[in-house]
Structures are given as structure tokens and as C-alpha cells.
Structure 1
């Protein structure tokens, strides 16, 4: 079924690669007018000229830049907060700088984006906010994902709170909890291991389904949550994890 997002205006963060890019492309195929944002202008430029997609360089760690973007872009029907960072290690391997960086990017950036774009969404009559969480921390403890899991658990609380506060004003807020997904960022993390070949095998082995997820599979959930098919759905977390949570 094509045209599921016809007439909708969507903004996606971390659009240059991985799940963000797959979602931007899926939204455009379904008829949305998409504002693709990312901190990396070179990678973002690869989306320029694609029908239905415009690009906007945005650092979601920059509060002033977020406010300026919200003023410039105005109301959107869909806000997908996809930007995030995966820190590897236990609490003993997470110093305060690492903790602050992860919490700022994985949680505070969402707070800033929602706070900046929500008023115009309400004024326009409503919309759908989608936040990127993870099966790690939010649903199940995963080894060596201390601050990542902590931040992604916080995303669920943020999501439920926004949903509860604004559902009568036409705002839906949900989050997606993926398992391990093949992406350029995963490739970078695997390359950092002493034995990348074994590391990739280990990532796959922890997936009960026997394979990594694809960015397109997560984007499919993001399409559903952006569209009118999910009009009765808010305050929920959707697990797309290959069976990790069991």
C-alpha cells in the first residue's frame, strides 16, 4: 500500500546513514515531505535531489541550533528522534564524561527536539513523535551496555510522559526498541574490537533469530507509527529485536 504518509511533513534526525536514512527514504516513498537532518553535511548531501526529501544540517547537541531549526522549519506532522550513541562498557568503564555524552545525545537531545517542535505541532492540530530507544536497558539488561541501556530506559520514561501530557491535544508519542541492526555505526564498533571477525559472530550469536536486523525493518515500524494506521497508539514501546527480549 503506497501513499501511507501522503500529505504529511516529517523531520528525522541522524538521517545520513543507518536507520535514520532508511526511514527518510521510506517516508518519502510513502508520500511524505521529509526534512532529513544530520550533523554530517557530506553524508547528508547524498540525499539531496531525492524526490520528497530536503536536507538540513543539524547538531542535536546544540540547543541554539535546535531552536533555530524549529523556528525555520515550523510545524511538522512527524518528529522522529533517531540520533544516538552506543557506548561499550560496564559502569566501571564509564567515566563521567562518557556518561554525560551518552545521556546528552541519547536523552537530552530528544528533550530539546520535542520541546522545540511540540508547540507548533499542537497549534497545527497534532502529530506523531517517535523516539529511538533500544531493547538494551529499556527491556533487558545487555552486557557491556551500562550507560547506553541507562539512557535508553530513560527514553521510555520520556516517551510515556510526553504521551500522557499531550494526548488530548492530538499528540501521539511512541518509541522503537531495536535489537542489533546492521548499520555503518555497528561496523565501526565491530572494527574497534581486537578480533572484528569474532566480534561480528558474537553479535549475531546473541540474536535468537540467527541474524542481525536491517535498517529497513526498523524503518517499517517508523512508517507505521508515523501514519494514520497507528492513530489509536500512544505511549508505547515497540520491540523489533530478533527475539532478544524473548
Structure 2
């Protein structure tokens, strides 16, 4: 019989999580949900103004993922404030539109530096803290997957640590006018699997979540710039089998699953949250 792991609002109790790009959109939804489930959460974001508006109970530190010293300083700040790191959510990223003809070398470097190299910078800076956490014995778990207190005399298993990267269906779906963005997210998917292989024996799980078109501030800006925002939104909704955009909260729930104790046997995977966009091929809806 499959073992069950019970989860609750306190499933991240005693754990510390860092969310990059966590001051808005999907990142903010992830930070809120982790905090709701009991984690101590620190948001790393390049926007000082946005950090000033974080919800109560969520801390923030300035961090530019394109600057290694900024990243290292932010992770030192996490260690000083919290003393540990259990969960890293690499969410910071930027968008890009167009074919391969539409973006010059400078834009390619800029997007890849944020979306891919930035993720690697943060992960590298976080790994010493994650390793330390992963090596700790988890006195709260009996090793039977239930989350109940360990039986007297039972050998405690290690606590483990988790990394969740924000990927995108653009990595695999072949979306038009998204050449640069798709290339960056394809790299994120490959990086996720490579990191999972590199760090599984250290007790660090690495997975990624791939949202479909999500109702975020970035999509809002794209719609606002369109000649007909309502028509553009309808087109985006129509390409998802559910007929609607993905919510940031739905992505956050998936991130929390991958980061949490219920996913202790899950590493190296991509979890789509896309309304069926990757896997389904539906006939056109009847008029």
C-alpha cells in the first residue's frame, strides 16, 4: 500500500524558505502560500519599493540575480536572520517576445543572464545552507511517511532540502513569437534535471514547475500594450484547454507540493500547471 503524507497549514513549520522575484506575481503568491503553511519566508527581489510592500510576516532582502556579489550578500543576510535554509524557490525571471530576428545580442545576454545564469548564481550561493539543512536528522518524522513523531529507538532520517525552479510551458510547447524566452526556459528545464542529478545524494531535491499563461502583472502589461486587449486576452485563454488563464495561486500550490514533505520521493521532474496546454490536443470547440 502506498504510504501517505499528511499535510496541513503547518507542514512547513520550522522551515525557512527563500523566494527570488517574490515581491509580485507568482513569486508573491508562492511566498504567501509558504508562509500560510508555516514557513519563515524571505523574499529576494531587485525592487526595493516592492520589498517595502510585502505582507506582514514575510521578510525581504534586496537582490540582483545578475550580480554575484549581490546574490552572495543576500544569502549571507538569510543566514544571519534565520540561521538556516530549507527551501529555495528560484522564481526571478523576465520575459521576451519575438522571433530570432527580433532580439539582438544584448537582449539575448540580458534575458539569459536573469533567467538562467541568475538561477545558477542563487543556487550556488544557497547550496552550503541547503547542504547543512539536508544533513540534519529529522526528529519529527518516523521514516514511515506519515509525519508522526518517531517511535522510541527508531533511527531518524535526514530532514532534506528542496529547490523549486520556475520554468514554463514555453520550454516544450513551441510557442510563436517566444524564441528567446523559450530558449531561456528550455535551459531552466535542463538545469533543473542536471541539478537534481548532482545533488540528490546530498539530500537536496530539485524540481521545476511549468506554468501555462498565468494571470500575472507581466501578462497584464502585455495585454495593456496590445491593440485590442480584450481580444488578446480571449486568444490567450482560448489556447489553454481549460479556457482560462492559470492563477498565480494555482502555481504556488504546485510549488509548495514540490518543496514540501509530501514530495520526499520526487526529484528531477517538471510539473506543468497549464490547464492541459502541454499534453492535450482538443478538437476546436463547436460554435
TM over 0.5: yes
User: What RMSD, in angstroms, separates the aligned Cα atoms of the two structures?
Assistant: 1.1
Is 1:201 matched with 2:234?
yes
Checking the alignment, whether the CA contact within 8 Å between 2:44 and 2:74 is kept in structure 1 is no
Residue number in structure 1 paired with 2:104: 95
Residue number in structure 2 paired with 1:20: 27
**Gapped runs of 5+ residues in structure 2?**
1-7, 136-159, 281-287
Q: Write out the 4+ residue segments of structure 1 that deviate beyond 4 Å after TM superposition.
A: none
Equivalent residues in 2 for 1:86-235, closer than 5 Å: 86-124=95-133, 125=135, 126-136=160-170, 138-235=171-268
Q: 2:52 aligns with which of 45, 48, 58?
A: 45
Q: CA deviation at 1:151?
A: 0.6
**C-alpha offsets along residues 134-174 of structure 1, whole Å, 9 cap, x if unaligned?**
001x2211111101111101111111111101101110000
Checking the alignment, whether the CA contact within 8 Å between 1:5 and 1:226 is kept in structure 2 is no
Instruction: Report the Cα distance in structure 1 between the residues aligned to 2:162 and 2:102, rounded to whole angstroms.
Output: 37
Q: CA deviation at 1:14?
A: 0.9
Residue number in structure 1 paired with 2:69: 64
Normalised TM-score (structure 1): 0.95
Instruction: Report the Cα distance in structure 2 between the residues aligned to 1:111 and 1:192, rounded to whole angstroms.
Output: 32
Instruction: Report the Cα distance in structure 1 between the residues aligned to 2:107 and 2:231, rounded to whole angstroms.
Output: 26
**C-alpha offsets along residues 114-149 of structure 1, whole Å, 9 cap, x if unaligned?**
01111221123241000010001x221111110111
Normalised TM-score (structure 2): 0.82
Q: CA deviation at 1:72?
A: 2.4
Matched residues, number: 243
**C-alpha offsets along residues 158-204 of structure 1, whole Å, 9 cap, x if unaligned?**
11111101101110000001100001111011112222222112111
SS in 1 for 2:101: helix
Instruction: Report the Cα distance in structure 2 between the residues aligned to 1:200 and 1:96, rounded to whole angstroms.
Output: 30
Identify which range, 26-35 or 114-123, moves more after superposition.
114-123
Q: 2:42 aligns with which of 29, 32, 35?
A: 35
Instruction: Report the Cα distance in structure 2 between the residues aligned to 1:198 and 1:97, rounded to whole angstroms.
Output: 32
Q: CA deviation at 1:47?
A: 1.4
